[in-house]
Amino acid sequence: MTTLLTGRPFSSARREAGFFSALAPRGKAVLFALAAIAVCALFAFPVFWLVLTSLRPGTGVYYVHRGTEFTIDNFHEVLSQEIVLRALFNSFMISTVATVLSLGVTATSGYMLSRFKGPIPNTWFSLIYIFRCVPYVAWVLPLYFVTQRLGIFDTYWGLLFPHVAVHICFFSWIMKGFFDGIDPSMEYAAMIDGCSRWGAFWRVAMPAAIPGLTALAILCWLYTWNEFLFALILTAHETPILTVVMAQFVHELGMEWHLMSATAVIALVPALIVTLFGQKYVVRGLRI
Amino acid sequence: MAEVVLTNVQKAYGPVVAVKDISLDVKDREFVVLVGPSGCGKSTTLRMIAGLEEVSGGTIAIGGRVVNHLQPKDRDIAMVFQNYALYQHMSVRDNLGFGLRNRRVPEPEIAAAVARAARTLSIEPLLDRRPRQLSGGQQQRVALGRCLVRNPKVFLFDEPLSNLDAQLRTQMRTELKELRLRVPTTSIFVTHDQIEAMTLGDRIVVMKDGVMHQVGTPLELYRRPVNRFVASFIGSPAMNFLDVDVACEAETFTLSCRGLRLALPSRAFPNLGSCVGQSVCIGMRPQHIRLGPPANASEVGFKGTVMVTEQLGDEQVLVVRLGATDIRVAGVDPDLKLATGSELEAAIATANLHFFDAE
């Protein structure tokens, strides 16, 4: 009480606090900014180098940091190759269809894991868990034989099925987490309000899970777009995929880094658009 | 409007029996409250009536029709949940109209019903907002509105006031009572709060461990609890219990335990005759104990030591030690100064003594 009335200890304490608080946040902010710049640079530098390489003539790719000659001929050359255009189209189609199919199954599977108890969800959960435990690369050879046997090797389906299967195993858990975060009494209310169980899922739980679904869709699309191993083993000339076509610029006659870089930059654009468009949804969705 | 009849209803989750053999007859337009501690099976019972849980045994009938195998949507009920359960992606207006839209009611009728419900609950200005933008009390009103628009046969309430702060809970309780007068629909209300049960219910069902212990009006439960659990659950502060040994001397029953000896005329308590030589439990409501010696023959007195005094402003609550047991005495003059450790004399009318089996 006395302290407050006389004011002295109170005001001097405030002055000291003011001095440090004036300095501390600014110092913190500077440190934080420097750290952020360093991390960004770490990630951006390879991309910057890639873009620079794609703009250099074939002879200058080893001296990217020294040369001053820039050209867009690499892009011309790459885009004039039919296989690159086909690969672009195929990659886009496979990524999109795999995303749609995966989300269709993942949403229902995640919902089941979240809401139902019993032998079927338990078995399903164990199955996913076991699949998740097997190393990714171990699937490649069996899948090669299976797709050969089914006659779907080097077709859309031959690549779609494995991708969808992997996504289901990966994302059912995440989707379960989203649905766990949604209050089930909302669905009970819908069931009392005239919906069937399926109606409650479709009309109430799904709209509530949209941020999560959007996040998963973006992750799923980017994952398929960037995937290399399955594409390399399960496709050939009939269904060229962009990541594989990119790698084929390294061949027995040498390495065409400039063309590879140009293709990579082209591949980067849709991924960049999806990321920029979806960033806020990913952050919001994964926060649920 | 309809009556709800539960006949030998059971619910088992594997070997665990959550609800044991409940039979209850809720009359048309009656407001029945299921009350009990957590895990007593009250919410499970309500969810079985709603159709959200399957019934393991027995039958549930609404309006004379057995509904055991009907989907929740076909039972013509409405339910308010503890956490409101509003559809977050819809506006308040769409939340209210959702049930009618599912039943393919024409849009003009939906709009009229929504407007009517909004007017009844004074939520008209909120109709275009999302549930996220509303306070707890407003959300609860919307949840009530969602029930009102459909004009169902039965309202089910699953602890609807539990998520509200104390002040708002009291206010909503009053609003619910007012609403009942305007819309007298058969209602079943689940709560763990005995004050809500006492203030809202026409009849109260007290449950514990899946068993129905007593059904009665609030006053019946307060005045004539059938067992120690009901007696302890209804009333605040809770009833005092003392385990005493019963002896019979001439025309008097003597009830004694360490530090207490009560003499009761045997004519007034014929039932105690069968308990002579055994232990019984005496129940005394804190409000029925009066400080001072017995005023007349209809009262019995005892002495104790003041352990704690709790000042509530309009009254004091004393914790008094009788032998080895502490009891509470309520309604003590707030200006009365009582030091801890001081001896006092108290009395209670014998008519206000309750007797239960000793534990």
Q: What pLDDT does residue A17 have?
A: 53
Q: In what order do the strands lie in the sheet with B154-158?
A: B77-80, B154-158, B186-191, B31-35, B203-208, B211-216
Residues A185, B89: C-beta atoms closer than 8 Å: no
Which residue, among A193, A195, A284, would best test binding to B if mutated, counting the most B CBs under 10 Å from its CB? A193
pLDDT tens-place values along chain A, 288 residues long: 333 444 444 444 455 555 556 656 778 889 999 999 999 999 999 999 899 888 888 777 777 677 678 888 999 999 999 999 999 999 999 999 999 999 999 999 999 999 998 899 999 999 998 988 888 889 899 999 999 999 999 999 999 999 999 999 888 988 998 899 888 999 999 999 999 999 999 999 999 988 888 889 998 999 999 999 999 999 988 999 999 999 988 888 888 888 999 999 999 999 889 888 888 877 776 665
* Residues belonging to chain A: 288
What is the mean pLDDT, run by run of 10 residues, along chain B of 359 residues? 91 93 95 94 95 94 94 93 91 94 93 92 92 91 91 93 87 88 92 93 95 96 94 92 87 83 82 84 94 89 92 93 90 91 92 88
Q: How close does chain B come to A191, measured CA to CA in Å? A: 6
Strand ranges for chain A from DSSP E: 250-251, 254-255
Cα A279 from Cα A215, distance rounded (Å): 8
pLDDT digits (tens, 9 = 90+) for B180-202: 888 889 999 999 999 999 999 99
Q: Which residues of A touch B83 (CB under 8 A)?
A: 183, 185
Q: Does A204 touch chain B (CB under 8 A)?
A: yes
Q: How close does chain B come to A221, measured CA to CA in Å? A: 26
What separation, in Å, do the N-terminal and C-terminal C-alpha atoms of chain A show? 47
Q: Does B236 touch chain A (CB under 8 A)?
A: no
Residues B78, A185: C-beta atoms closer than 8 Å: no
Closest in A191, A204, A207 to B72, CB measured: A191
**Which among B51, B68, B77, B50 is positioned nearest to B7, based on CA atoms?**
B68
Q: Does B131 touch chain A (CB under 8 A)?
A: no
Global confidence as pTM: 0.80
Closest in A194, A195, A208 to B89, CB measured: A208
Residues B73, A193: C-beta atoms closer than 8 Å: yes
Amino acid at B280: V
Q: How close does chain A come to B210, measured CA to CA in Å? A: 22
- Cα B330–chain centre separation: 21
Which run of H or E residues covers position B260?
strand B260-265
Angle, in degrees to the nearest 10, between helices A82-115 and A156-180: 40
Q: How close does chain A come to B88, measured CA to CA in Å? A: 7
Residues A189, B87: C-beta atoms closer than 8 Å: yes
Is the predicted ipTM greater than 0.90, yes or no? no
How many A×B Cβ pairs under 8 Å?
A: 62
Give yes or no for a contact between B98 and A193, defined as CB atoms under 8 angstroms apart: yes
Q: Does B82 touch chain A (CB under 8 A)?
A: yes
Q: How close does chain B come to A192, measured CA to CA in Å? A: 5
Which run of H or E residues covers position B282?
strand B279-284
Closest in B71, B103, B150 to A196, CB measured: B71
Q: What pLDDT does residue A56 have?
A: 84
Q: How close does chain B come to A172, measured CA to CA in Å? A: 23
pLDDT digits (tens, 9 = 90+) for B75-133: 999 999 999 999 999 999 999 999 999 999 999 999 999 999 999 888 999 999 999 99
Q: Does B65 touch chain A (CB under 8 A)?
A: no
Q: Which residues of A touch B78 (CB under 8 A)?
A: 192
Residues B87, A210: C-beta atoms closer than 8 Å: no
